[in-house]
Structure 1
Amino acid sequence: MLERKVAKRLILSLATWRNLVSFIHIDPAVRADVQDIESLVLDIDWGNGVDPATLPDFEMQARQARYRLVATAALQRNIRDLFLGHHQDDQVETILMRLIRNPSTSFLGLQGMAEESAIPCCEDIRGAHEVEQYEPLPDWLFHIDGTVSNVSESKRGINFAKQVTVSRKGGLRMHRPLLQFPKSRLIQTCKDNGVIYQKDKTNDDPTLTLRNAVRDLRKDRHGSNNEQHLPRALQAHSILQLCEHARKSTSSLMARGTEVLRMIKVDIFDLRCGSMTMTVPKNFVAACETDLAAGANALARLTSAISYQSRDDVPTLVPKERVLEFLEACRSPRSRSLTIQKVLLEKPDNDTVNSEDNQVRWKLSRPPMRSSEVKSAEQRFRPKVDGFSGEETTGTSQMDLDTVGGVWSDWILWDHRYWMRVRVPDTASVPEVHVRPYRQSDAPYVFSALNKEDSIMLRKILAEAGPGKLRYTLPVLTYQNRLLLFPTLNVLVPDLSTRDPGTVSIQCPLLDWEICYKVLDQPFIVEQARAIRWRNAVVRRDGDT
């Protein structure tokens, strides 16, 4: 009875708050009655002549397009909380679908939909998972550790002294307040209170999607959701018990993984190249040997801070074999190098930080790019478009009033690691600015364009921030195929034809740029942020020498 009162209150509240709540409906172009719904209707563009119902992976493509449309619409309207209408029947269907697709799935795949979560499929939409505005590194440090005070960033350098920083966690949150209620109860509550509801007739076609087929399977021969004809293991009560057990198991795994991660000390995080140096004590190895699952979770979360994997592809566990390989490398006195989840882990020969405690130092970095990755890593900037008018916009920097004027590009996510945007004099210049990896063939031009002093400086920076092949994973910005700058290093490359460093600001079309590393919200980073040596500009605290 209490649950019914809650459902009634929520439905009536939504009906009452129509002027305060935005209703968004995504039309997959397979319904004929969508025009009768009073809400913001967003259409999925499948391309000319494409019937979405005939696509073999229609359900997955529709899901991705739906979330991306909702995220974009929400951000344009300054909406941060999204309330979805998924109910208990949807939850049961989701778990049954996962069992059908992968009968041997672990408990990790049986948790169903969460009551609150981040929005999926939107990694490259700035603001979906992070605060959109650029924030200097000292400000980011203060937000995650309020005890950090008297922090200053060097004001020397170009680009209004802006340096590569870290994206602060934020963005959109999805809420599913109706998961505990079956659909029948929600419908009855609407009927009892005179609330009009719309039925999606495409849900009745069992041949359209797997979910529809599962939904049809759960109906009895009279078309109702009376599950008595199903084996007990397939009935809602059993499926929901399975879901609850999976959630408890996952929660336990994450807690154990967090405790293992806290044993690691992060010494250096170099934002210029996205590398991390850490110290691994012997008790970490012992803990992983005792609880391999916790070790697998710890390694997955550890490598996620550096990996160029898509956010949606980051696993909860790394394979057992990779955990054992890493532990063996920790015990070995020899130098070792291995790759886990698209992260290169390197241990120098006999590099024991403390022989008595047998602590070992590791460096994590992006592996050298393959030729296919180099090609896909070249992106062009796009003018920022106003979400309401559809027109290109001009903007002002978040940092300094002196940057007024020009046109900001939209944010782009490069290599799943760096967010960046540029400001140029006019809209036509924006698509001419590209970002790509630094190449070995760039070196002759770069060092010929720089004067002797700047060449020496850049060589020193590359030796520290990009030793060996790591430098060929650094982003560079180009304009009409001319290399302009290293945005993470804040090094401008003058136009070789001018031979006059004093004219760089005239020759370079960039008025401003902002670059942020991806969100770093793992506890082992957040809890150590105060002690980590962050490398980009010079960051000073009271007491530093």
Structure 2
Amino acid sequence: MALATLYSMASAKRKALPPCHIFIIDHKARDESSEEAQWVSDQVRWKFMFPSTVIPLTWPENTIPADLKSFESNARRLRYQALGQACKAENITTLLTAHHGDDQAETLLMRLIKDRWRSGLAGMRAMNGIPECEGMYGVHHSGGLRQPNLKKRARSQLPFLIESGGLQILRPLLNFEKSRLIATCEHHGTLWKEDSTNHDPTLTIRNAIRHVMAHYKLPASLSQQRLTMLAMRMQDRMRNVEEEAQVLFSKTPIKLDIQTGSLIVRFPPVADLLERSIANETDKNQARDVAYSLIEKIAKLVSPKDTPVVGRFSNSIDFIYPSLSEDPTAFIRPFTHTGILFRVWDRASPFAPASNPKLHHPREWLLTRQPFSREEYAYPSLNIAIPPNSPPTWHFFDSRFWIRVKNHTQHPLLLRPLREKDLESLSQLNTTPRPSRILRAAFNFIKPAELRRTIPALILVDPSDGREHLVALPTLRLTALPPFLSPDDDAFHVEIRYKKCDFGARDAEEVVVPGVWIRDVLAEVKEQERLALRKERRAQMRGEGKEGDARGVDVRKGERGKSVKKRGEETGGREGDGLESK
């Protein structure tokens, strides 16, 4: 209620503030929770004239929430997902929560207990994206592409659109103690309710910590004020590091391929990580912090892990910048982190000058999706069924691609990773229908070849024999209907967008490569068909030559050579050379 009180006061002074809608969560963990939630809703409407909505949480059937060992984490997940859905329904893009300084202190103490140092000591951030809502389109880092802007974006050179938007969380009360907020409510005559379960130390870890902080004398360094100040200092430190890394990031050459979810990057030299020379261990540690933040920013562009595990990138510094490692034997080598395969790019640099296009650079790395494991191939999130005539739904495939499919056929479609068996089914170029040759020709543009096994594929099952048919490569915008579907049929419609990305000070067009275009693939198919036809004609000519006598063959060769020579004389040799090269 303190947040509602303060927002009401602020909006009275600043008419430009957006209108407010209050959400009250009914956790359904106590018999009286619904009645209390409705009471709060009534108070908000009566005192502040704010519209309000009570959101009851839906727990699994036959579940007693308070009896769950993981009640706190489950309640948090359900709470944020319910808030996300409610905000989407109301077209709300910013959500303010009432987390205060006491909550921040409890969070830090919990993280200290769990040995979460570094960013863990920064506690809750005053602003970030909504958690626990991965895959919820229009809530989680998506939904910002409004219809009026789509035509303008469609004229860009991007292979397809890149998502934007998403629900932002603001926590404006983190620097205020709960006691001060209570005093604010009392001063303005605002009534409030407290959840009695918050005082049960046996229910959750946070409750236990809250009980200890309230009833036991802790060292001064663990007081609420000290812990809150620690979080503020750590946030300031992280903000400075991130600002330095952001400057470097905006200067770092990157080529992002959103069709395969891979990139090539030229990491800056060690000397550029700090504005001063690295002279001692303190400098080295600060350089590591900047390198950590820089690598994390770059990795997020292609990572299939929407929320990278905190601290994981610290180990990657040793492989990319061995001179910053504590291990004197460290050396540059491939490694995997957060679902990404890092390896040195040992081929021609995409950033090389035109005067030397084959130039290789030692600080360039290729970042790709780590090959799918056998376990991952079985994940339900990577095997998305699209029933016939089902409502089209956005799916966050592999936490990299937003894909929506409308299935107009009478057969189920399956969205899953492209597999080796799919490639093998297209291996016989000259004996497959032309649509399949189009798909195969597209693979020639995907290099290195192993990137082919990291992209999504749309599969249709033949109703007659149960065989799976590769019918589309969504990221390449290519389709190939099986024989039992008419080319004139509107079999399915696929929409695709790449995940939301932070490109720093650059536009997407400065970072994203144009990719594979249909016109290029069709040109490749025509060239392959031309070469195949020429090969067939040569074989026929060899067969005809075997049937004739040796003199006949010599005569034909002689006549052909004479003709070439004559045309060469007439054209200065160019046409003759061209025929010979063919």
Shared fold (TM-score greater than 0.5)? Answer: yes
1:199-230 Cα offsets, whole Å, 9 max, x none, are 2111121111122122222224xxxxxx8x44
The answer to whether structure 1 residue 257 and structure 2 residue 238 are counterparts is no
**CA deviation after TM superposition for structure 1 residue 165, in Å:** 2.7
Distance 1:152 1:308, change over 3 A: closer
Matched residue, 2:290: 294
Where does 1:422-501 land on structure 2 (aligned, <5 Å)? Answer: 422-425=405-408, 432-446=412-426, 454-465=435-446, 467-480=448-461, 481-497=468-484
Counterpart contact for 1:281–1:357, Cα < 8 Å: no
In structure 1, which of residues 409, 418, 442 is the aligned counterpart of residue 392 of structure 2? 409
Counterpart contact for 2:386–2:405, Cα < 8 Å: no
Where does 1:74-473 land on structure 2 (aligned, <5 Å)? Answer: 74-102=87-115, 105-132=116-143, 151-152=155-156, 164-168=160-164, 170-220=165-215, 229-266=217-254, 268-280=255-267, 282=269, 290=284, 291-309=287-305, 311-315=306-310, 318-320=313-315, 322-327=316-321, 337-349=334-346, 353=352, 360-376=363-379, 378-381=382-385, 408-425=391-408, 432-446=412-426, 454-465=435-446, 467-473=448-454
Q: Distance in 2 between matches of 1:375 and 1:343?
A: 19
Matched residue, 1:73: 86
Counterpart contact for 1:335–1:349, Cα < 8 Å: no
Distance 1:107 1:441, change over 3 A: closer
Matched residue, 1:397: none
**CA deviation after TM superposition for structure 1 residue 521, in Å:** 0.9
**CA deviation after TM superposition for structure 1 residue 73, in Å:** 1.4
More helix by share: 2
Q: Distance in 1 between matches of 2:417 and 2:196?
A: 50
SS in structure 1 at match of 2:182 = helix
Matched residue, 1:403: none
Distance 1:281 1:117, change over 3 A: closer
Q: Distance in 2 between matches of 1:171 and 1:261?
A: 23
**CA deviation after TM superposition for structure 1 residue 125, in Å:** 0.6
Q: Distance in 2 between matches of 1:470 and 1:329?
A: 31
Q: Distance in 1 between matches of 2:186 and 2:488?
A: 68
AA of the residue aligned to 1:273: T
SS in structure 2 at match of 1:364 = strand
Counterpart contact for 2:119–2:310, Cα < 8 Å: no
Counterpart contact for 1:297–1:317, Cα < 8 Å: no
Matched residue, 1:520: 501
Distance 1:329 1:419, change over 3 A: farther
1:341-372 Cα offsets, whole Å, 9 max, x none, are 32223335475758999554332211221111
Larger Rg: 2
AA of the residue aligned to 1:495: P
Distance 1:469 1:300, change over 3 A: same
Counterpart contact for 2:435–2:480, Cα < 8 Å: no
AA of the residue aligned to 2:298: L
**CA deviation after TM superposition for structure 1 residue 57, in Å:** 1.9
**CA deviation after TM superposition for structure 1 residue 20, in Å:** 5.0
Structure 1 length normalisation: TM-score? 0.75
AA of the residue aligned to 2:30: R
Counterpart contact for 1:123–1:312, Cα < 8 Å: no
User: Number of aligned pairs?
Assistant: 473
**CA deviation after TM superposition for structure 1 residue 297, in Å:** 2.0
Counterpart contact for 1:299–1:317, Cα < 8 Å: no
Distance 1:173 1:383, change over 3 A: farther
Distance 1:454 1:467, change over 3 A: farther
Distance 1:13 1:323, change over 3 A: closer
**CA deviation after TM superposition for structure 1 residue 197, in Å:** 1.3
SS in structure 2 at match of 1:419 = strand
Matched residue, 2:77: 64
Q: Distance in 2 between matches of 1:58 and 1:531?
A: 43
Q: What do you get for the CA RMSD once the two structures are aligned?
A: 4.0
Q: Which moved more, 1:278-287 or 1:198-207?
A: 278-287
Matched residue, 2:548: none
Q: Distance in 2 between matches of 1:335 and 1:21?
A: 53
Distance 1:359 1:337, change over 3 A: closer
Q: Distance in 2 between matches of 1:335 and 1:318?
A: 15
SS in structure 1 at match of 2:136 = coil
Distance 1:527 1:440, change over 3 A: same
Q: Distance in 2 between matches of 1:436 and 1:357?
A: 35
Matched residue, 2:491: 509
1:487-536 Cα offsets, whole Å, 9 max, x none, are 111221221346xxxx2242x631x2211111111427x35743653314
Q: Distance in 2 between matches of 1:114 and 1:24?
A: 21
**CA deviation after TM superposition for structure 1 residue 68, in Å:** 0.9
AA of the residue aligned to 2:374: S
Structure 2 residue runs without a partner (length 5+): 42-51, 279-283, 325-330, 462-467, 520-582
Q: Distance in 2 between matches of 1:515 and 1:345?
A: 26
Q: Distance in 2 between matches of 1:59 and 1:260?
A: 39
Structure 1 residue runs without a partner (length 5+): 144-149, 155-162, 221-226, 385-405, 540-545
AA of the residue aligned to 1:440: E
AA of the residue aligned to 1:183: K
Q: Distance in 2 between matches of 1:231 and 1:184?
A: 20
Q: Distance in 1 between matches of 2:508 and 2:71?
A: 44
Counterpart contact for 2:257–2:512, Cα < 8 Å: no
**CA deviation after TM superposition for structure 1 residue 411, in Å:** 0.7
Q: Percent same amino acid among aligned pairs?
A: 26
Matched residue, 1:387: none
